[in-house]
Amino acid sequence: MSRSGNVEATRRDVLVAGAMTVVATGATSNAKAQVPAPSVSKPAVPAASGDGALSKVSMTINGSRRDFELDTRTTLLDALREHALLTGTKKGCDHGQCGACTVLLDGRRINSCLTLAVMHEGDSVTTIEGLGRPDHLHDLQSAFVKHDGYQCGYCTPGQICSAVGVLAEIRAGVPSHVSADLMAAPQISPEELRERMSGNICRCGAYCNIIDAITEVAGRKA
């Protein structure tokens, strides 16, 4: 009996000891959890700001004065599309390589994606919306429709604005890279028009029709 009692006592002791171990372990874990971790000082990092400086700029767009307060990094193209809400001017490559963003600045054609709006305080800008209205199209707009000078239409506003600038250049005697013989010809040659319009890309490939439209407006059939 004594041996059995000793064995029973041993079992009881084991159970009690195990329970005490569990309680002790839990208490230790809670104590560790309550101890705050040592703070590690981190170098102060200045907050990055994506906001640029704002500047007021006024310009005449399609005959009306417009006043803006713009981020100084805003391109003329984005000012026209996002602030003046004139979305006829298209954003193509945004690198000055496709001509979709061509507008007239004081009568001269430019890629509006390559210039900042704040650089044109007091200037006069003409977009495709300012060339004509649906009930009174510009001659070049009518000619593009007549000769099917567009397909998807994405490049068409830039093509027409560029063509207006091309005809103004020819009338003003502004030289191009074509030969002197071509420039001196009594009629505007397709080669000269292609050279002058080479900065405007038509991914649909309507180049022949575009040249026909410009030639008709120039009044000299090639």
As a whole-number percent, the residues of the chain with pLDDT over 70 amount to: 72
Residue 127 confidence (pLDDT): 98
The model's pLDDT over 119-137, given as tens digits with 9 standing for 90+, comes to 999 999 999 999 999 999 9
**Closest listed residue to residue 196, CA positions, set 181, 213, 214:** 214
Return the SS3 of 177. coil
pLDDT classification of 22: cutoffs 50, 70, 90: very low
Strand 124-126 to strand 54-61: parallel, antiparallel, or no bridges (unpaired)?
parallel
pLDDT digits (tens, 9 = 90+) for 145-156: 999 999 999 999
Stated pTM of the model: 0.73
pLDDT at 84 over 60: yes
CATH of 53-130, one of 3.40.50.300, 3.30.930.10, 3.10.129.10, 3.10.20.30: 3.10.20.30
Average pLDDT score over residue span 75-98:
97
Domain boundaries, the chain: 53-130, 132-222
Pick the CATH number of 132-222 from 3.40.50.1450, 3.40.50.300, 3.40.1180.10, 1.10.150.120: 1.10.150.120
Give buried/exposed letters for 127-160 (b at 16+ CB in 10 A, else e).
bbbbbeeeeeebbbbebbeebebbeeebbbbbbb
The confidence score (pLDDT) of residue 42 equals 47
